[in-house]
Amino acid sequence: MSNTFGNIFTLTSFGESHGKAIGGIIDGFPAGIRIDEDFVQNELARRRPGQSALTTGRKEADTVEFLSGIYEGVSTGCPIGFVVWNTNQHSSDYDNMKDVFRPSHADFTYTQKYGIRDHRGGGRSSARETISRVVGGALAKLALKEIGVQITAFTSQVGTLVLDKSYTQYDLRHIEDNPVRCPDPVLARQMEELILRVKGEGDTVGGTVSCIIQGCPVGLGEPAFGKLHAALGNAMLSINAAKGFEYGQGFGSMELRGSQQNDVFYNENGHIALHTNRSGGIQGGISNGEDIYFRVAFKPVATILMEQPTVDKEGNETILKARGRHDPCVLPRAVPIVEAMAAMTILDYYLLNKTTRM
Amino acid sequence: MSNTFGNIFTLTSFGESHGKAIGGIIDGFPAGIRIDEDFVQNELARRRPGQSALTTGRKEADTVEFLSGIYEGVSTGCPIGFVVWNTNQHSSDYDNMKDVFRPSHADFTYTQKYGIRDHRGGGRSSARETISRVVGGALAKLALKEIGVQITAFTSQVGTLVLDKSYTQYDLRHIEDNPVRCPDPVLARQMEELILRVKGEGDTVGGTVSCIIQGCPVGLGEPAFGKLHAALGNAMLSINAAKGFEYGQGFGSMELRGSQQNDVFYNENGHIALHTNRSGGIQGGISNGEDIYFRVAFKPVATILMEQPTVDKEGNETILKARGRHDPCVLPRAVPIVEAMAAMTILDYYLLNKTTRM
Amino acid sequence: MSNTFGNIFTLTSFGESHGKAIGGIIDGFPAGIRIDEDFVQNELARRRPGQSALTTGRKEADTVEFLSGIYEGVSTGCPIGFVVWNTNQHSSDYDNMKDVFRPSHADFTYTQKYGIRDHRGGGRSSARETISRVVGGALAKLALKEIGVQITAFTSQVGTLVLDKSYTQYDLRHIEDNPVRCPDPVLARQMEELILRVKGEGDTVGGTVSCIIQGCPVGLGEPAFGKLHAALGNAMLSINAAKGFEYGQGFGSMELRGSQQNDVFYNENGHIALHTNRSGGIQGGISNGEDIYFRVAFKPVATILMEQPTVDKEGNETILKARGRHDPCVLPRAVPIVEAMAAMTILDYYLLNKTTRM
Amino acid sequence: MSNTFGNIFTLTSFGESHGKAIGGIIDGFPAGIRIDEDFVQNELARRRPGQSALTTGRKEADTVEFLSGIYEGVSTGCPIGFVVWNTNQHSSDYDNMKDVFRPSHADFTYTQKYGIRDHRGGGRSSARETISRVVGGALAKLALKEIGVQITAFTSQVGTLVLDKSYTQYDLRHIEDNPVRCPDPVLARQMEELILRVKGEGDTVGGTVSCIIQGCPVGLGEPAFGKLHAALGNAMLSINAAKGFEYGQGFGSMELRGSQQNDVFYNENGHIALHTNRSGGIQGGISNGEDIYFRVAFKPVATILMEQPTVDKEGNETILKARGRHDPCVLPRAVPIVEAMAAMTILDYYLLNKTTRM
């Protein structure tokens, strides 16, 4: 259950960083959707390490191989199995971590929970696990395209460098023009410099990703325990290194009074419209047809290339210095993962919403 | 599915604000737990409207009646059905809202989704629905008490008044000493004044609730899609008016480098310990035995006692002035609800974790 | 989870035989369905004890009270809570069973599993729990009526008295004309006499219920682990005293060769039709539009009014003689329960099937 | 959801007969179990086609490749991904079936449900899908071995040739000694002859598989909708060609009175025991520690090597003659599949039962 995401549309994922493969099964995917494999591969390329100087130097092809559920290029309604083979592991980079707990990593908790741990490359807790999510998200995007839903994420903060204007003031088509994936080219350059500087110090830095969902139909979301924003929050917080989620005005809500915060309805040429969208496209847990927007906080990656004191399994104190190739900042590569989780959530709730009436 | 919370321990809830009753079924509750009904009733009293000048003037007894699953005061492992009868509804207060969409409320989205809506008192979208959560949470607390888990929430922000010291610097036993439920008595008084001033204006104000889980066993949380903090986030975001969730350093994580942020292990008299707890008690989605702490943002209540422009079902523009008795600030009453959701989450994951090994 | 039935349409039930009430929550019920409460009450009357000389002499009004999810007589899409109060319990009838394990009852297994048991009237293992199912089934029937699905069950065997002709040879509208609920009036009389004779001996007798689902749309059922007949089997085997399930040719399938068993397609005036329906309306786990039919075996009720040797909690051997009012044969009252479980299954799969395509 | 089996221990499967591979993900598997891959491969060999003259002549290696969740030969608690590559497909054998509906097959219903179908070898509805189940079952058996649970299935009927003595009268270790997998060597020879004769005619024949679960702990099974026998029934009815399920006395229950049917407790040297086990090891839906036994009915395989009239997609009447290599009788190869489904069910309920108490 813990490796399955979704209710109707589901992604079940498997794989460790240095195992044979990462993969998954997508179930509940609508029949009759044309699967553009180039699109899927391109989404993986956006997540891939080594795509710029800002990311880890690992070179992984990350080629997806679909094993079922697609016939003559079209989804059949049957489960879609897929694998991405692991080809570039340097497991020996992790030999010194075998019996040592890396600070702020899952090493200690996995060992306590399971009594056993595949330490190579972080095993299951590696960010490499998100490959499955990007595949699932790419397919979800293909299905959502049929109903006009568009999902766009971007880096909105690195360290204390913050994009402080609303997303509506940017042309979101330019996000991929810079390696940070920030729609403001000036800020993007500053973020880039910051990341490179931090990388040079062997250190890491966090930030936020913002995401916009446009064209979402009205009515998605199940009241009480299936609120759409709760589902999105759950999805985002399941991404490695995520520490917070907010939608609409979020943590800024308390700066305004109710009278300032409320979105007021009016009649726009015979159709009900809103003057503002402070709610972030969701009211009472249900989409209202406006843009859905939210923000996800990511902490600095825990693996730093500096010496850190820690303990081993027996509790002996030791000094750890990570080897290997690691991201100084998770942000640029988190962007497609945020989009993928959002796409899967929206598709799942779209399908669920079909069951509301006979 | 949308009205059920949890995996092993589950709460399924029902009821509208002005229907006959609010209630629910708690399933998967461990057998053999002594049910202290006075404790449950006291938790409901903490949530009840009319408990202070800061809350709505409605007087509701909110007496829980257990219908099954308890025999001679002890849980039997069978589902626990319960009802809380609605007794103090003034449905006519809502007559003017029958065909009108209240700004930033669920009126519009429910109508679009279901084609029908019980408008009285907000129907299912009313905060009155949280009664079931408090009952479920109270039972979860009773079970958790047996393994030494303690859950404490408090108001940490109202408007721009923020509690800026760490929870470790307060005596959390004094939270219930003031009507705002803030551990700092000076700030509590300021918050109280702010809420009363806003109330006097017919307006509303938001804030944050912080929550601390102490004594949580190591190992709770399921990697990938069942991370403990994602489950907590999902739980909190399901509460009415919640707009954001963060745990550990949360949105503040990006101000620090990885080298500053990491929690370092050491050997404390033969047992593995941490110098700091910036992770918030969860690493890799699994509890590490330290205090779990998180923060939830609540927007100002959407119902204000001021005139607001809006439209009716047919799209005609109109002016709405809410009648009835409404909270100027959701915070004080949100505190026990946050605790309840946290308690149910922890119990659920505690039970789930028992299945990790043969 | 164990007290919830269904995937999209769900019934979560609670209640013990001699507790305060039996009840449940129906979730995922389609919005906009008119709820005919008289119809629901009539379905309960078909299940009620004391309806004829063939059933237990207990008189229970079994009046359902809906608490939510229905507004002005129409389902709102919100969860439908309901209770049926227990009013006619004679708990003292069970005093002698408190510490004694009744043969072939759930007394021993409940005690072992939970360490505690509400012994009064069988507690949760009582057939009284099926009240919730009949309520859920009645609502499901009301929704299914909108798409022309008709569900009819009847007694097809009592002891060795078997209805040996196909259901197509009877007028199923006459099932309710006799207290056994058998469409063959001659056999019905024989069954009635057998049950009365067995009752006179303080003994019990089993039998089978057959069920026909007419007008079921093509396409219901999920391949692999959600086959429609597996869901029906699971539903039926969850009824107290059920020991077997078969559909289509069932256990008789092995008497025919494949060439005799296969249902052959032909063209009937331009539309694809079948010459026979030996498959029972389901092929590859998916409904094919033909009548679905199946049969459920029920053992004789375990509670007999004769002396039986047994043991108590401490293992002391003793003689048990049940007091109280018990059914000599579960069959007549099982008929509406079988229908209810079938109706809930079909509605659930109908809703689920809506998610197959965008 | 439809391709996932289980609650805590889950198998999610994918793959079509003539796609690239069959595979799956096993989640919720207990950590710390030694995985004997030879054992798994041997279980697959028992299912494999071509193992005797009684089965299809296809030769498939069916070699399982584990991709994750196992580290140094031991389960880690992480999801176990696996694939079995398809290597011996003759897709052209199915060219004539592309637009034709095979009688009593899933061709028609899949086409209606999904609007698209991978016709090659039956696609997803092929028995080849059960490979995943055998892998999941093999792992479940390895976990169950640690608590002393033993699961044994055998062929108990082919056509009208019935094994009429109780399983207790046979030495179940000899089941694998003959290709039919029947514990009675004389009957086994007759069954073998019958199958070969039917095969020679291009026809098929059905039968039953019986299964015995020994050493099952007391307390497995969740009352109401999670009864252990309902879960077993659901599991068995999900196997291709299954038409019925009964446990304990099953459909024979109605031949006995309650006084004859009940299992009576006694004190056997200070421990509570039963004189008989007519209940089949389950009472009130919960295992009682006795042997669990049940029987599954399988119809004759629908694919026959004889001419059959049918229609094509456009409704044109035509004559179909299947080519390819097909089983004349599903029984011998169904035996390991029944065991696999039983093993997964018992392990799932064993894990679930751990959550009953704190």
- Six-digit token pair at D186? 């004389």
Provide, as residue numbers in chain C, all residues whose Cβ is less than 8 Å from the Cβ of A32: 357-358
Q: Is A68 on the interface with D (CB under 8 A)?
A: yes
What is the strand order of the sheet B80-85 is part of? B4-5, B10-14, B21-27, B80-85, B64-66
Is B121 an 8 Å CB contact of chain C?
no
**What confidence category does residue C167 fall into, taking pLDDT thresholds of 50, 70 and 90?**
very high
CA–CA distances in Å: residue A84 to residues A41, A60, A143, A227: 11, 10, 22, 33
Cβ neighbours, 10 Å, residue B201? 16
* pLDDT single digits (tens) D246-266: 999 999 998 899 999 999 999
Q: Contacts of residue D68 in chain A, CB cutoff 8 Å?
A: 14-16, 19-23, 124
Flag whether residue D350 sits within 8 Å of chain C, measured between CB atoms.
no
Size of interface A-D (CB pairs under 8 A): 164
Note whether ipTM > 0.90 here. yes
Cα–chain center distance at C11: 14
**DSSP symbols for B16-34:** -TTSSEEEEEEESPPTT-B
Interface subset of A 151-180, CB within 8 angstroms of D: none
Contact predicate A356/B114, CB 8 Å:
yes
CA distance A315 to chain D (A): 22
The helix/strand count (H/E) of chain B reads as 7, 18
At A133-186, the pLDDT tens digits run 999 999 999 999 999 999 999 999 999 999 989 999 999 999 999 999 999 999
Residues B344 and B350: their CA atoms lie apart, in Å, by 10
Q: Is A91 on the interface with D (CB under 8 A)?
A: no
D358 touches chain B (CB under 8 A): yes
pLDDT tens track for D199-257 = 999 999 999 999 999 999 999 999 899 999 999 999 999 999 999 999 999 999 988 99
Question: What is each CA distance from C146 to A315, B223, C39, C141, in whole angstroms?
Answer: 67, 44, 15, 9
Q: How far is CA A332 from CA A157, A173, B254, in A?
A: 11, 16, 14
pLDDT over 80 at A123, yes or no? yes
Q: What is the pLDDT of residue A267?
A: 93
Residue in D with minimal Cα distance to B28 = D356
Q: Which is nearest to C6 in space by CA: B12, B132, A4? A: B12
In chain B, whose CA is at the least distance from the CA of A295? B244
Query: What are the residues facing A150 on neighbouring strands?
Result: A214
Q: Do D27 and A3 touch (CB under 8 A)?
A: yes
A189 is in an annotated binding site: no
The rounded Cα C334 to chain-centroid distance in angstroms is: 5
CA angle B348, D80, A10 (to 5 degrees): 60
CATH class of residue range D4-353: alpha beta
pLDDT at position B91 is: 66
pLDDT of D58: 66
- Between chains, do D355 and B147 touch, taking CB under 8 Å as contact? no
- Helix intervals (H) in chain C: 37-47, 107-114, 130-145, 185-200, 228-237, 258-261, 331-353
Q: How many CB atoms lie within 10 A of CB B338?
A: 30
**CA D256 remoteness from chain centre:** 30
The token pair at A109 is 């908790």
The domains of chain B are located at 4-353
- Over residues A35-69, the pLDDT tens digits come to 999 999 999 999 988 788 887 766 678 999 999 99
Give Cα separations from A238 to A119, A244, A332, B9, C261 (angstroms): 20, 11, 17, 21, 51
Please tell me which residue of chain C has the smallest CA distance to D131. Answer: C224
Identify which has the larger pLDDT, D138 or C315: D138
Interface with A, mutate which of D3, D70, D84 (most A CBs under 10 A):
D3
Q: Chain B: give the shortest CA distance to residue C16, in Å.
A: 6
Q: How far apart are CA C345 and CA A113, in angstroms?
A: 38
Interface test with C, best of A144, A146, A347, A356 (most C CBs within 10 A): A356
Cα C303 to Cα D261: distance, rounded to the nearest angstrom? 11
For each of chain B's 358 residues, which pLDDT tens digit applies? Answer: 689 999 999 999 999 998 999 999 999 999 999 999 999 999 999 998 878 888 776 667 899 999 999 999 999 999 999 999 998 666 676 777 788 899 988 999 999 999 998 888 788 988 899 999 999 999 999 999 999 999 999 999 999 999 989 999 999 999 999 999 999 999 999 999 999 999 999 999 999 999 999 999 999 999 899 999 999 999 999 999 999 999 999 999 988 999 999 999 999 998 899 999 999 999 999 999 999 999 999 999 988 888 999 999 888 999 988 776 678 999 999 999 999 999 999 999 999 999 999 9
Q: Say whether residue D318 is in contact with chain C using an 8 A CB cutoff.
A: no
Give Dmax over CA atoms of chain A in angstroms: 72
- Cβ–Cβ below 8 Å for C262 and D158: no
C113-123: average pLDDT: 87
Chain D residues whose beta carbon lies within 8 Å of the beta carbon of residue B357: 30-32, 77
CA distance D350 to chain C (A): 11
Interchain contact, B262 vs A308, CB within 8 Å: yes
Give the model's pLDDT for residue D175: 94
| Cβ B142 vs Cβ B33: under 8 Å | yes
Query: Residue C60 — pLDDT band, cuts 50, 70, 90?
Result: confident
pLDDT tens string A246-301:
999 999 998 899 999 999 999 999 889 999 999 999 999 999 999 999 999 999 98
Rounded to whole angstroms, the Cα distance separating B207 from A256 reads 10
Which residue in C has a C-alpha nearest to residue D287's C-alpha?
C109
Which residue, among D231, D214, D194, D211, has the nearest Cα to D296 in the 3D structure? Answer: D211
pLDDT in tens, D26-60: 999 999 999 999 999 999 999 988 788 887 766 67
D12·A1 Cβ contact <8 A: no
* pLDDT for A322 beyond 80: no
- Residue D321: strand, helix, or coil: strand
Determine the Cα–Cα distance for residues A245 and B82; give it in Å rounded to an integer. Answer: 33
For residue B263, the 8-state DSSP code is P
Q: Is the minimum CB–CB distance between C115 and chain B shorter than 8 Å?
A: yes
Q: Which of C300, C335, C211, C236 is nearest to D233 (CA)?
A: C236
Q: Contact, D213 vs D293, CB < 8 A?
A: yes
* Residues in CB range of A339: below 8 A, 6 or more apart: A137, A141, A151, A152, A153, A211
Cα A194–Cα A200–Cα A206 angle in degrees, nearest 5? 45
Q: Does the CB of A310 have a partner CB in chain B at under 8 Å?
A: yes
Q: What's the gap in Å between the CA of A326 and the closest CA on chain B?
A: 12
| Terminal-residue alpha carbon distance, chain B | 29
Q: Could you tell me if C65 lies within 8 Å of chain B, comparing CB atoms?
A: yes
Over A118-181, what HEC string results?
CCHHHHHHCHHHHHHHHHHHHHHHHHHHCCCCEEEEEEEEECCEECCCCHHHCCHHHHHHCCCC
Closest approach of C72 to chain D, Cα-based (Å): 32
- Inspect the interface and report whether the beta carbons of A77 and D116 lie closer than 8 Å: yes
Mutate to test the interface with B, among A225, A293, A326 (most CBs of B within 10 A): A225
Mean pLDDT to the nearest integer, C162-185: 94
Quick check: C31 and A357 CB within 8 A?
Answer: yes
Query: How far is residue B334's CA from residue B171's CA, in Å, rounded to a whole number?
Result: 20
Give the C-alpha separation, C130 to C136, whole Å: 10
Q: Which is higher by pLDDT, C93 or D70?
A: D70
Helices B37-47 + B331-353 axis angle, to 10:
140
Does residue C262 have a known ligand-binding role? no
Mean pLDDT of chain D: 93
| Residue range A86-91: mean pLDDT, rounded | 75
**What are the tens digits of pLDDT across the range B232-272?**
999 999 999 999 999 999 999 988 999 999 999 999 998 89
Residue D52 is predicted with a pLDDT of 82
pLDDT in tens, D94-116: 777 788 899 988 999 999 999 99
Can you tell me the distance from the alpha carbon of B195 to that of A121, in angstroms, rounded to the nearest whole number? Answer: 51
Instruction: Supply B72's token pair.
Output: 């001679």
Task: Determine the distance in angstroms separating the CA of B246 from the nearest CA of chain C, rounded to an integer.
Answer: 29
